[in-house]
């Protein structure tokens, strides 16, 4: 114990370890700076990198855009080309249409021909679809790989092919999307017009039919009431020449009012007006005629004449309510009869 206390820090067993420093850390690790050789090597590497970048900058700036693509390394023989080219996220509809149209089996040969004519592919394309871009350093690849790695060249060739064929599905899709609402609206106009005309025609026909039914009912009821009043009055008149005429006058005016509401054409209105003026019993029948008082036989004779005229009214009244086409035909026939030349 006494001997151990006399040992100083330098005499510690840890201090005497050949691979550790004063604090027990290996040389060259944390807490110890690199030597002159390491700093010289780092500076030389940085200087070489800067020199290389400065030398390549002018050539990189002067090179065309298509020459900056990485050189294609031919795939080994056992590698299988992708069956399709996946569209990039957010790709345009024109790009999607180009991939579908130009990589179709029917258009692949025409696509290669268009690209060769534009100087984008070399003329050593194989029948199985392996091509080689004209850019320096580009190796052989399939059309799918060319469409994916040389998007600008593929898009240019495919656009030229679709324009030459006048069958651009991408353009047609965009135009269809832009004009879809207008085309649909224009195409639906005839249907809308036909539907509106049918609706209006149906409403008009229904309104006309309803008016005819209402007028027919009014004419029939007013004419029946007038005829009943006439028969009652004539029966009373044969017994008493001073029979009450008020009911006949009232029913007669009611029938005249309905006849005045008969709509056109003009021939029907004229016929209704003439029928209203020809209604009998405008005034009561006379008690005397020719200066002589009418007896029972004389009043009966006048009564029969009035009944005969009244009995012909139902048919004439109901004929007034016939359709307008019938009255137009009657007016046309009457006009043609008037203008027909008389033969001697």
Residue 75 has what pLDDT? 39
Are the C-beta atoms of 254 and 225 separated by less than 8 Å?
Answer: yes
Residue 36 has what pLDDT? 56
Task: Provide the Cα torsion 276, 280, 286, 291; round to 10°.
Answer: 90
Q: What is the pLDDT of residues 264-297, one digit of tens each?
A: 788 888 888 888 898 888 999 998 888 788 888 8
At residue 31 the predicted structure's pLDDT band, cuts being 50, 70 and 90, is very low
For residue 133, pLDDT over 50 is answered with yes
Distance between CA atoms of residues 263 and 272, nearest Å: 9
Q: 83-112: string of b/e by CB count within 10 Å (b at 16+)? A: eebeeeeeeeebbebbbebbbeeebeebbb
Higher pLDDT, 158 or 13: 158
**Assigned token pair, 104:** 């179709």
Q: What is the pLDDT of residues 301-319, one digit of tens each?
A: 888 889 888 888 778 888 8
Residue 150 has what pLDDT? 87
For residue 61, pLDDT over 90 is answered with no
The mean pLDDT value for 99-126 works out to: 86
Distance between CA atoms of residues 161 and 111, nearest Å: 7
Q: What is the pLDDT of residues 158-207, one digit of tens each?
A: 988 888 876 545 555 555 566 677 788 788 888 888 888 889 888 888 88
Q: By percentage, how much of the chain surpasses pLDDT 70? A: 68
Residue 251 has what pLDDT? 93
Residue 35 has what pLDDT? 57
First to last CA, the chain: 175
Q: What is the pLDDT of residues 324-337, one digit of tens each?
A: 788 888 888 877 77
Least confident of 15-29, 223-237, 280-294: 15-29
Residue 186 has what pLDDT? 83
For residue 130, pLDDT over 50 is answered with yes
Residue 120 has what pLDDT? 86
Does the reported pTM lie above 0.85?
no
Distance between CA atoms of residues 240 and 234, nearest Å: 9
Please write down the long-range contacts of 287-296, taking CB distance under 8 Å and 24 or more positions apart: 287/241, 287/242, 294/241, 296/238, 296/239
Residue 82 has what pLDDT? 41
For residue 62, pLDDT over 70 is answered with no
Residue 178 has what pLDDT? 61
For residue 60, pLDDT over 60 is answered with no
Are the C-beta atoms of 236 and 258 separated by less than 8 Å?
Answer: no
Higher pLDDT, 32 or 42: 42
Residue 166 has what pLDDT? 63
Return the SS3 of 261: coil
Least confident of 48-52, 61-65, 257-261, 276-280: 61-65
Residue 288 has what pLDDT? 86
CA proximity to 280, closest of 238, 223, 241, 319? 223
The mean pLDDT value for 144-159 works out to: 88
Residue 1 has what pLDDT? 40
Residue 147 has what pLDDT? 87
Q: Tell me the pLDDT of the chain averaged across its residues.
A: 74
């Amino acid at each position: 114990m006494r001997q151990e206390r006399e040992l100083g820090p330098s005499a510690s067993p840890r201090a005497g370890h050949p691979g550790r420093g004063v604090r027990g850390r290996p040389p060259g690790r944390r807490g110890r700076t690199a030597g002159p050789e390491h700093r010289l090597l780092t500076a030389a590497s940085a200087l070489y990198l800067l020199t290389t970048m400065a030398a390549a900058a002018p050539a990189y700036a002067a090179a065309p855009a298509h020459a900056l693509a990485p050189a294609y390394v031919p795939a080994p023989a056992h590698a299988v080309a992708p069956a399709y080219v996946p569209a990039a996220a957010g790709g345009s509809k024109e790009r999607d249409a180009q991939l579908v149209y130009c990589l179709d089996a029917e258009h692949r040969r025409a696509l290669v021909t268009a690209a060769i004519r534009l100087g984008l592919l070399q003329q050593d394309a194989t029948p199985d679809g392996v091509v080689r871009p004209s850019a320096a350093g580009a190796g052989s690849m399939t059309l799918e790989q060319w469409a994916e790695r040389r998007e600008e060249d593929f898009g240019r060739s495919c656009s030229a092919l679709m324009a030459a064929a006048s069958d651009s599905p991408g353009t047609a899709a965009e135009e269809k999307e832009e004009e879809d609402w207008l085309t649909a609206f224009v195409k639906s106009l005839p249907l809308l017009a036909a539907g509106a005309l049918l609706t209006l025609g149906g409403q008009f026909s229904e309104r006309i039919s309803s008016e005819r039914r209402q007028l027919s009912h009014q004419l029939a009821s007013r004419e029946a009431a007038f005829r009943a009043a006439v028969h009652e009055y004539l029966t009373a008149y044969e017994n008493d020449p001073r029979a009450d005429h008020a009911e006949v006058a009232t029913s007669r005016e009611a029938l005249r009012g309905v006849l005045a509401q008969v709509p056109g054409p003009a021939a029907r209105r004229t016929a209704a007006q003439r029928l209203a003026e020809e209604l009998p019993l405008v005034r009561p029948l006379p008690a005397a005629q020719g200066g002589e008082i009418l007896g029972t036989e004389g009043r009966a004779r006048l009564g029969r004449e009035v009944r005969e005229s009244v009995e012909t009214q139902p048919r004439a009244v109901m004929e007034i309510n016939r359709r307008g086409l019938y009255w137009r035909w009657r007016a046309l026939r009457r006009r043609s009869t008037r203008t027909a030349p008389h033969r001697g």
